[in-house]
């Protein structure tokens, strides 16, 4: 079987060794995940729409290619191909990728990294298809058109009431820019990624290293107009998935630059998450660390999966790596239990249950969401690589 491949991570990932928990059976979890993906494909044969979550009536919420979550579905299939070496998964992923190509020209979203790098990026790593490289390069060229040098950030949303909003999620789209510099030799992509990260580092974080969701900037002066938490409980609360995006994003920044300031910040974000008094015993956070109805607040398995994947990488770089590995292991044990892992042929083919998308908008509450599945698979593969 070929070596497992993950975006941005090469052979050096194997240098960090760890123990194996007897009660985390990666192969069993992956078998369940494969069964669910196959079930999903039977339910949703249309290659132009992508299962995102489950509607309140129990039906699947399907989205078009322009939706920010569309790349996670084929991305999960690429991860399954990485794990199984079954060519049918590569063929299926490639077929689902095809409907996303037009997104490379979409100048109206910052989520090109999510859409293109999770799909074509994984495909490129596993197949070395030169067409995928050209799609990614065009996507990177499109993404940097949203960069304003006066503000020092890539704009996130284009809708009111924001003037120039930048969300912590945007850190996740920078990885494609680093790839673009390595592929093209053009340092512009790298420089913009670093500037965006530095601006976010300066303006998004509170004294306790929790993160605001949104920083809105003045386009004339470049100054800050407001700091908000749009998808969390309140502006000063710690929206759980936002904390996970920050942890993952700044860990990636250290990998790509080697700059210790990013590692230091990632460790401080991890400390906020792991030491928070409202983190449940099973390590799957409530949708917001400051939700008023804890312990009866909805959980967010997606935040847990993103955090686990990030912690496994952070453990490679930190002097206290075993702490992060142990925490990630506990999260994965919980997510792989019947409390969160769906039974085969249920859950509309999604792998995990109990994620929360946008509770203040009454959207995707305590349900399955495709990015939870994607980062869960990524975390399982990272864990398996560490134990080879």
Q: Reduced to 3 states, what is the DSSP secondary structure of residue 243?
A: helix
Catalytic residue among 111, 216, 300, 373: 111
List residues bridging with 227 in a β-sheet.
215
Three-class SS string for 271-321? HHHHCCCCCCCCCCCECECCCCCCCCCCECHHHHHHHHHHHHHHHHHCCCH
- To the query of whether residue 111 is one of the catalytic residues in this protein, the response is yes
Among candidate residues 27, 46, 148, 169, the one labeled active-site is 169
d(CA 59, CA 12): 43
Q: CA–CA separation, 211 vs 231, rounded Å?
A: 12
**Cross-strand partners of 363:** 358
**Residue 257: both structure tokens together:** 């630059």
Q: What H or E segment, with its residue span, contains residue 201?
A: helix 188-203
Q: What backbone torsions phi and psi does residue 262 show, to the nearest 5 degrees?
A: -75, -40
Taking the C-alpha atoms of residue 81 and residue 89, their distance in angstroms, rounded to an integer, is 5
Alpha-carbon dihedral sign for residues 205, 166, 352, 307: negative
351-365 burial code (b ≥16 CB/10 A, e <16): bbbbbbbebeeeebb
Q: What are phi and psi of 368, to 5 degrees?
A: -85, 140
As to burial, measured by CB atoms within 10 angstroms (0-12 exposed, 13-18 middle, 19+ buried), residue 106 is middle
Per DSSP, 211 falls in state B
Vertex 212 angle, CA 206 and 214, to 5°: 140
For the chain, state the CA radius of gyration.
Answer: 19
Three-state SS for 340?
Answer: coil
* Residue 25 C-alpha from the chain's centroid: 23
**Catalytic annotation on 366?**
no
Q: Active-site positions?
A: 111, 169
């Amino acid at each position: 079987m070929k070596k497992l491949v993950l975006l941005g991570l090469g052979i050096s990932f194997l240098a960090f060794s760890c123990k194996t928990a007897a009660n985390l059976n990666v192969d069993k979890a992956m078998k369940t995940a494969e069964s669910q993906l196959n079930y999903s494909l039977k339910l949703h044969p249309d290659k132009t729409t992508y299962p995102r979550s489950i509607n309140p009536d129990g039906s699947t919420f399907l989205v078009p290619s322009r939706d920010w979550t569309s790349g996670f579905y084929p991305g999960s299939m690429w991860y399954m191909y990485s794990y199984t070496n079954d060519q049918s998964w590569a063929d299926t992923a490639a077929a689902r990728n095809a409907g996303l190509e037009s997104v490379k020209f979409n100048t109206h979203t910052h989520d090109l990294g999510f859409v293109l790098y999770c799909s074509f990026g994984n495909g490129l790593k596993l197949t070395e298809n030169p067409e995928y490289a050209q799609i990614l390069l065009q996507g990177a060229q499109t993404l940097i058109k949203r960069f304003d040098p006066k503000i020092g950030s890539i704009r996130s949303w284009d809708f009111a009431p924001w003037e120039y909003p930048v969300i912590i999620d945007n850190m996740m789209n920078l990885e494609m820019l680093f790839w673009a510099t390595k592929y093209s030799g053009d340092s512009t992509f790298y420089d913009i990624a670093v500037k965006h990260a530095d601006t976010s580092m300066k303006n998004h974080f509170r004294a306790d290293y929790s993160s605001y969701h949104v920083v809105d900037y003045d386009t004339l002066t470049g100054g800050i107009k407001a700091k908000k938490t749009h998808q969390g409980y309140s502006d000063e609360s710690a929206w759980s998935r936002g904390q996970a995006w920050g942890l993952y994003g700044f860990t990636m920044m250290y990998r790509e630059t080697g700059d210790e300031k990013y590692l230091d910040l990632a460790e401080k974000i991890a400390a906020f998450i792991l030491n928070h008094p409202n983190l449940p015993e099973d390590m799957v956070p409530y949708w917001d660390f400051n939700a008023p109805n804890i312990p009866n607040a909805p959980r967010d398995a997606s935040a847990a999966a993103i955090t686990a994947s990030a912690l496994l990488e952070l453990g490679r770089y930190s002097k206290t790596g075993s702490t992060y590995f142990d925490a990630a292991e506990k999260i994965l044990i919980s997510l792989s239990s019947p409390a969160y892992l769906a039974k085969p042929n249920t859950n509309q083919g999604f792998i995990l249950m109990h994620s929360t998308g946008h509770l203040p908008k009454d959207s995707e509450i305590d349900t399955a969401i495709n990015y939870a599945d994607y980062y869960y698979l990524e975390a399982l593969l990272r864990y398996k690589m560490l134990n080879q």
